[in-house]
Structure 1
């Protein structure tokens, strides 16, 4: 989704979210209730009525639109769609909404993501899959969850480029430091290097602190035309560009059979980054803050490379230089990210980008005008989103 004519035609006008709960602690609320509460909050934030909502843009399968309409009192929708994939579609779903607004298919579209995993651990989810030739191979190899899959990419990056666990530790410690000031964050105690290296290895080279959190929460945004957003309650955040997709060489399913070596140790975002920057008419040097999909610390490094903030193979030294900290030239996951704040399949990153560009973030980046949000990697599509502070 990279049509240049879409540039700045739509904006995020409302933001809503629930508290971030530790896994299972949102009960007895249901996931639909969490999602509904975030939608109502986003609509209120925009200064609109729930009856103004006439569309939904989802990802990872989305939610039950008739249920949400009945529960919230939405009389009619004119647009509803969902990107495939899991968290890889989170940033792209906002672009999907922008495209629909630009095309005149709907006027007030809600993008929402939510998570509630009290009954099942995501890391063991593949154990419930029916037996196929593919999972018979990876299951017997011990590859039973995303942590195992991404550990393979991390280890290959270490082998090819000299990346070390100290680099992963610097990602985890920096992002944890950002969470300390965030009252909504789950993890609000400092993470030391000694504590990092004392943590158990869950999927070598990933230890406990290299994994994102499993939390119960929901985040929603309201997307409408930029012209209309100027007359609403909040300062608009313009949608500068969105892109989603991926390369076949990287995305041979989450299990990465037969990926070429030059692609294997990467995030799969390179082609999306190319399209995103072209659609926006800007480059990496124009980005003031990065909200990157940090399901694993190693993937922060690989996405920084794929989005052109440093050369391939130099992501480890880049993150250890202090560049991704609050005083660095690329403040990253400034709310604590998925590693330390909360996890809603990438929508918490959209929240933080909006707050940075409104000037209301807890760790405000001075004069932040452009934010980059990424979704995934997991399976194709992965996605990217460039947001801009409205004049």
Structure 2
């Protein structure tokens, strides 16, 4: 029997976005960061906490739960909330689940947020893992995210001839966008020589291949498309939201280490939106490391498997990570990608605006360290 799926495409919209400054030492708690970002997002939409009846976040023991954020903002009895355990893999699923809650009538206005003192308090890149598989890896020195991703990057290099220069071109291109972004932590232009001259972290990754550990917060207001049209900003419709997973790559369950869970998820995502890679005007691809951008260009169908390196070198495809990404703007564990996609589709991205952008893809960690991944397709409301 065919599955009967609830179609919520274009029934909800992002009505507001908000940020705190991105810093290396916020000097405040994660609860304070969360509240500041939420208030900024509500102000952007022309709303107040009294309009909010839902809260959603994801965290790995490093942020403020809805049970703390709600009372702090005077939201004492939310009709719906989500406190999702997980890192960057589930970042876009949080937005998708909020959109589903709104479309189904469980809530009318949900704020999704992520707050983290990842530089001054909870270092995201430090060694350690809660995965039960860690007991089989730690004795061999495989303990940090960069080490895991480095193995898959090396596999891609050996199989397809991908080079460090291809990774460097991603870093250089994203830094050029960050130069135009007043929020970005890193706004000094870099060259390929700067990339190759940066110190090794774990081969084949150098310092400039790795995302920034950042203190900061980001928030998004999700409401019905109809209500969003009466608010302050141009609505950005949630046209597709998909999340899922598979066998963890760390267990050796994926036959080809150069293929991520995004390759399985992409057809579902595009199918919901009635779109394909050729319809994407701008893409925010999860860039914990430069390699993750390259492999997602393949797995989301912008180029064939194994052609990511030459594709990056050619400069073809949609503009990617126009805010500078996690490599140069800051790392807020996924939501600042969604916020930048919204900005591009509202046409308020300033000097980095992609002219006439109508459709955006935004993605989560593609499923290497944990098998889960998630992604969104957003459209400018007409």
Q: TM-score range by the shorter chain?
A: over 0.9
Superposed displacement of residue 3, structure 1:
4.2
Partner of 1:326: none
Provide the secondary structure at the position in 2 that maps to 1:6.
coil
Counterpart position of 1:279: 272
Runs of 5+ consecutive residues of structure 2 not aligned to the other structure: none
CA distance in structure 2 between the aligned counterparts of 1:268 and 1:66, rounded to whole angstroms: 32
2:70 corresponds in structure 1 to 69
Distance 2:53 2:127 in 1: 34
Q: What secondary structure, in the 3-state scheme, does the structure 2 residue paired with 1:342 have?
A: coil
Q: Which residue of 2 aligns with 1:190?
A: 189
Q: Distance in 2 between matches of 1:55 and 1:321?
A: 44
Q: What do the CA deviations read for 1:348-375 (whole angstroms, capped 9, x no partner)?
A: 1011001000000130001000000001
Shift of 1:67: 1.4
- How many corresponding residue pairs? 374
Indicate the residue corresponding to 1:240 in structure 2. 239
Instruction: Kindly indicate whether the alpha-carbon contact (under 8 Å) linking 1:356 and 1:368 is maintained by their aligned counterparts in 2.
Output: yes
Residue aligning to 1:376:
365
CA-to-aligned-CA distance 1:258-288 (integer Å, 9 cap, x gap): 23442x1133211111110011111000000
Partner Cα separation in structure 2 for residue 105 and residue 176 of structure 1: 41
Alignment map for 1:1-391 (pairs within 5 Å): 3=5, 5-22=7-24, 25-27=25-27, 29-60=28-59, 63-117=64-118, 118-126=120-128, 134-248=133-247, 251-252=248-249, 256-262=250-256, 264-323=257-316, 329-362=317-350, 363-377=352-366, 378-391=369-382
CA apart distance, 1:120: 3.9
SS at match of 1:123: coil
1:142 positional shift: 1.2
Bigger shift: residues 62-71 or 239-248: 62-71
Cα separation, partners in 2 of 1:94 and 1:166, compared to 1, 3 Å: same
CA–CA separation in structure 2 for the residues paired with 1:112 and 1:188: 25
TM-score between both structures, scaled by the size of structure 1: 0.92
| Deviations, residues 163-199 of structure 1 (Å, cap 9, x unaligned) | 0101001111111111011111011111111111111
Q: Distance in 1 between matches of 2:169 and 2:6?
A: 37
CA contact (8 A) 1:83 1:92 kept: no
Answer yes or no: is the 8 Å Cα contact 1:51–1:75 preserved in 2.
Answer: no
Consecutive unaligned residues in structure 1, runs of 5 or more: 324-328
> Do 1:13 and 1:223's aligned partners in 2 also have CA atoms closer than 8 Å?
yes
Rounded to whole Å, the distance in 1 between the matches of 2:114 and 2:121 is 18
Deviations along 1:28-58, one digit per CA (max 9) or x if unpaired, are x111101100001111111112111111122
- 8 Å contact 1:246–1:268 — kept in the other structure? yes
Distance 1:104 1:351 in 2: 24
Deviation at residue 82 of structure 1 after TM alignment: 3.6
Checking the alignment, whether the CA contact within 8 Å between 1:12 and 1:239 is kept in structure 2 is: yes
Deviations 1:194-237 (A, max 9, x none): 11111111111011111000011100001000011111111100
Query: Pairwise CA RMSD of aligned residues?
Result: 1.8
Preserved CA contact (<8 Å) 2:125 2:213 = no
Q: Which moved more, 1:135-144 or 1:229-238?
A: 135-144
